[in-house]
Amino acid sequence: MNVVDPIILTSYLLCIAYFLYLIVDAFNDEFTVRLDADFLSTQLTEQNLQDLLAISFKFDSRYEFDKLKQLAISISNKASHEKTDDKPYSISIYVDWDYCAFTDLEGRSRRVTRLMPGATVDLFQTQVFSTIAPSTTLKEAITAEDLLQRKGDRKADKLDTASPLNLEVEITKPLIDPAALKKSDKFMKRYADLEFFLGLAFRIVGPNRSIGGDRVYVLCKFVMHKLPWTAGLPWNPKK
C-alpha cells in the first residue's frame, strides 16, 4: 500500500462524516407544542371558572424552529341562557386583548395582538374586546405585537407605494426566537423541554356581578418538546 493511501482514505472518511453531520443538522430543527392541560385546569379551578370557561388551542403535529408564528385559540362560554341547577346562566365573557400578554423563553412580556385578515389598523391603538355570549365559542388567531410589520415597510417590497396593500399587516418573525431554542443545550439534546406562557384577561358579566364585570386572569402554559432529527425527513408528514 502506498504511504499516501491511508491519508487519502482518512480524509475521505472525514469528508463523509462532515457531510453526514451537515445533513443531520439540517433536519435537526423541529419540535412539538402542547398546552399543559393540567396547569390550565388548576388555574380555572382555583378561580371557580371550571364550569364557565373552556380554553383550547390547535397545533400542527410538528414545527420547524421558524414556523410557529401564531396560535389558534378557542374560548368557550359554558354558561346557559336559562337557569339550571348544574350550570352558570346568563353570563357573558369579554376578552380584553390589550390586557393579555405572551411571555417568551427569556421572560420578556409581549403584547398580544388578535389577527384579522387584511388588517390595516394602527398597531398601537387600543384593541376592541371580544364578546362570548352564553353557549358560544370564540375562535381567533393571535400573535405577539413585535412580530408584525406592514408590507410597505419591507425593503424588498415590490408593491406600488400608493397601493393600500402596503398598509396590510403581516407576521415577519417566529413567535419563539430560533436562536433562543438553539441556545438551550438540554433542549437541543432532548434532555429537557422548554416552556412559554400566555396570560389571558377576561371580564365576567352577569347576575351578581359588578356593572363593569369581574376581571379574571388565566395563565396558559405551553410545552415545547424537541423531536429527533429523523422527524425532519421528507417522508414524515408535517401535519
At residue 171, does pLDDT exceed 80? yes
pLDDT bucket at 203, cuts 50 / 70 / 90: very high
Burial of 139 (0-12, 13-18, 19+ CB in 10 A): exposed
pLDDT bucket at 93, cuts 50 / 70 / 90: very high
Map grid coordinates 373552556 to a residue. 54
Residue of 71 and 2 predicted with greater confidence: 71
At residue 25, does pLDDT exceed 60? no
At residue 126, does pLDDT exceed 70? yes
Residue of 89 and 197 predicted with greater confidence: 197
Q: What is the mean pLDDT of the chain?
A: 82
Please state the rounded mean pLDDT for residues 173-188. 92
Distance CA 129, CA 76 (A): 15
Q: Helix/strand/coil (H, E, C) string of the chain?
A: CCCCHHHHHHHHHHHHHHHHHHHHHHHCCEEEEEECHHHHHHHHHHCCCCCCEEEEEECCCCEECCCCCCEEEEEEECCECCCCCCCCECCEEEECHHHCEEECCCCCEEEEEEECCCCCCCCCCCCCCEEECCCCEEEEEEEEHHHEEEHHHCCCCCCCCCCHHHHCEEECCCCCCHHHHHHCHHHHCCCCCEEEEEEEEEEEECCCCCCCCEEEEEEEEEEEEECCHHHHCCCCCCC
At residue 154, does pLDDT exceed 60? no
At 216-232, the pLDDT tens digits run 999 999 999 999 876 66
Q: What is the pLDDT of residue 124?
A: 63
- Other Cβ atoms closer than 10 A to 88: 20
- Other Cβ atoms closer than 10 A to 157: 14
Q: What is the pLDDT of residue 68?
A: 95
Please state the rounded mean pLDDT for residues 194-207. 93
Q: Would the pTM count as exceeding 0.75?
A: yes
